[in-house]
Chain A
Amino acid sequence: MTVDGRTASEKILSRASGMLKARAGDIVEAGPDLVMSHENTYLVNRSFSEFGLPRPWDPDKVVVVLDHRTPANNAQTAAVHASIRKLVTKYGVGRFFDSGEGICHQLLVEERLARPGQLILGTDSHTTTEGAVGAFATGIGATEMAGVWATGSLWLKIPKTVLVNLSGHLMKGTCAKDVALSLAKIIGPSGADYRCMEFVGTLVADLPMASRMVLCNMAVEMGAKAAMVSPDIVTKEWFRGYGEDALTVVASDEDAEFERRVESDVSRMPPIVSGPHKVEEAKSVDKFEGVRIDQAFIGTCTNGRLEDLLAAARILKGRKVAQGCRLIVAPASRRVLTDAIDHGAVQTITQAGGVVLTPGCGPCMGAHGGVLGPGEVCISTSNRNFPGRMGSEEAEIYLASPMTVAASAVAGKIADPRRMLE
């Protein structure tokens, strides 16, 4: 049976490839509207330089961000950063965000570089985050990006779409992160492999852009190639907030063919904690309450935005981080940091005993800024709790929302944030 309706993925990749009738399952040669790389621009260029070309095919479509190890954690990284600064000048890449500006995914959305209907490629698995504005955004490797820099295109299989219908309203003390972790359990680490996850439903309609980014970000932990929230009134208002009124919108047709539908009603969902070691090990917070922690980390491309810092500050206001526990906060961008200062959240966090790092990825992948030692336990708002992710393989990482992480920092052990929201 063939259907007339088309998914957003089919529409975007058809347009980007010129194969106007292309459908899920077809392999197309597509030209991206935007390409992004971070510190691995070094690796991109190592392969790209083999082609003997003077510059990438279209430097205006290239974005380079230094975020993974910023400021440089050692001399080696400093040399890599320096070489990338020279490169962007040489190639005429105007959209270069140096150390301290923020995390690549945050910047693409915040600077309105990511737009509805675009095909975005990034050398980072969490590029799916940018789907929150209604773009088709996916992660690739560095050498693949070198090929894109050279030719302006790459092969992509148009994915089938998994429709995730989220209904109900969030209870006090819960947020999009709890939803994402619970979905990781329902769908599993490869349940959305090679698929586009599209989020719809009454809950999604209510979620602000920052929360939509959380859902799209975590989709890759379920194997998704891309994730998307179709542009709606929230998207339009969000762009309008930056003075942009005209917005081209691409969305799935109602009669499009969806491979699978996942239904979830969040109305009774408690705060969720995942871990350690597997994202899909998601359970109600009460199953983990009392687990002693050494460190609490709030930040990353998942949960380092203003709404996250404000949510944490609500818990931390008038409280102190427990003796023997460290609270580390890394804002997702300079703008987030500035706004958090304006709202008093940075003051609240530091008065409570927390520290605020340079905007960027922070200790999420174990490079710096709060690396874990053997036997240490961390509760984090990040997206991965794999062994060794934040340093020692003998450390344990639990994933949770900013509210749960803040409450746990105060308690010195995993705690239910609802008890501190009276």
Chain B
Amino acid sequence: MSVRGRIWLFGHDINTDLIMPGRYLDNYDPAHLAQHAMEGANKKFASGVRKGDIVVSGKNFGCGSSREQAVTALKHSGVSAVIAESFARIFYRNAINLGLPVVVSPTAHAVFGDGDIAMLDVDALVLGSSDGAKSAPLEPIPSHVKTILGMGGLVPYVKAKLAAKEA
């Protein structure tokens, strides 16, 4: 997968209450959720984010609640991937299960600035600025995770598994 987009930079411990505040969770509509994506961390995100944009963050991205609406909001707002120094485990699994690439990079959040335009190549494991001045290596995605992600998430993956069982 290769994609070009604006980088939205965030800090450490970006929790799910910042990504998708609980007060909006009465409504499960993805478009409604996307309108409030990252509201607690950057008020300009939801209106400014464009298809393909990349979220870059520090340690422990997605800590807190198990609410998968945090992933739904990001994905529906057009975010192509989240690159972080580390992820909280439930967020990480939710992202894989909903088909949103999440990739670990120890350096990306220190190298890139908010608003940088970058090329993300998940296969080549590199995030590089479009002018070639900055780049950060990405850690390989574990193979079992890659399989689920490659199929577009857990629902298609389980569907295939059930079909194989039946055949």
Contacts and interface: CB of A to CB of B under 8 A. Distances in A.
Size range of the chain B interface in the assembly = 35 or more
B88 A386 contact: no
Interface in A378-406: 384, 386-389, 391, 393
Given A366-B22, A384-B17, A384-B64, A76 B27 contact: yes
Contacts of B161: 151
A58 to B, nearest CB: 16
B10 to A, nearest CB: 14
Given A77-B26, A386-B15, A193 B60 contact: yes
B61 to A, nearest CB: 10
A377 B155 CA distance: 42
Contact of B97 (A50, A147, A150): A147
Interface in B34-79: 39-40, 59-60, 63-69, 71
Nearest to B99: A143
A365 B86 contact: no
B157 to A, nearest CB: 8
B86 A155 contact: no
B144 to A, nearest CB: 6
Given A123-B66, A365-B22, A367-B25, A146 B154 contact: yes
A225 B89 contact: yes
A59 to B, nearest CB: 18
Contacts of A387: 17-18, 40
Nearest to B41: A387
Contacts of B89: 193-194, 223, 225
B42 to A, nearest CB: 12
Given A69-B26, A125-B66, A150-B162, 20 more contacts: A43-B28, A43-B68, A43-B69, A46-B28, A73-B26, A125-B90, A139-B90, A140-B93, A141-B71, A143-B97, A146-B154, A147-B154, A194-B89, A223-B60, A366-B21, A367-B25, A371-B23, A388-B17, A389-B17, A393-B40
